[in-house]
């Protein structure tokens, strides 16, 4: 019986930090890739420190590029951990804004 291919070991040599992205996000697809852009809302530093007012801004905190196959796998994983019945799926080629 042939041996099952082994999966590479998962490593995190750079200790990639977790980034809080509690804001709007977007998915853009082109070709076989999808770009996920995540934001976080922050007060504008100049307005806050010089004028003493809070002016919220959405700041891009992370962009992740994956293949469409990986995006589908991410969708399947999210559906598995947080199932929502009767919600139609969007098409992968459309621009999705949240």
Q: Please answer whether residues 39 and 23 qualify as being in contact, where contact means their C-beta atoms are separated by less than 8 angstroms.
A: yes
pLDDT for the residue numbered 52: 95
Q: Across residues 19-47, what is the average pLDDT?
A: 96
Which tokens is 1 given?
A: 């019986």
39 three-state secondary structure? strand
pTM: 0.71
pLDDT one-digit tens code per residue, 52-65 = 999 999 999 999 99
| The pLDDT of residue 69 is above 70 | yes
Return d(Cα 38, Cα 23) in angstroms, integer: 7
Burial 56-83 (b: 16+ CB within 10 A, else e): eeeeebeeeebeeeebeeeeeeeeeeee
């Amino acid at each position: 019986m042939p041996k099952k291919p082994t999966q590479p070991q998962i490593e995190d040599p750079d200790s990639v930090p977790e980034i809080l992205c509690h804001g709007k996000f977007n998915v853009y697809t082109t070709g076989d890739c999808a770009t996920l852009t995540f934001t976080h809302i922050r007060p504008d530093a100049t307005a806050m420190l010089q004028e003493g007012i809070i002016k919220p801004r959405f700041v891009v905190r992370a962009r992740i590029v994956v293949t469409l196959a990986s995006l589908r796998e991410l969708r399947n994983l999210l559906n598995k951990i947080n199932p929502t019945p009767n919600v139609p799926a969007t098409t992968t080629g459309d621009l999705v804004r949240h």
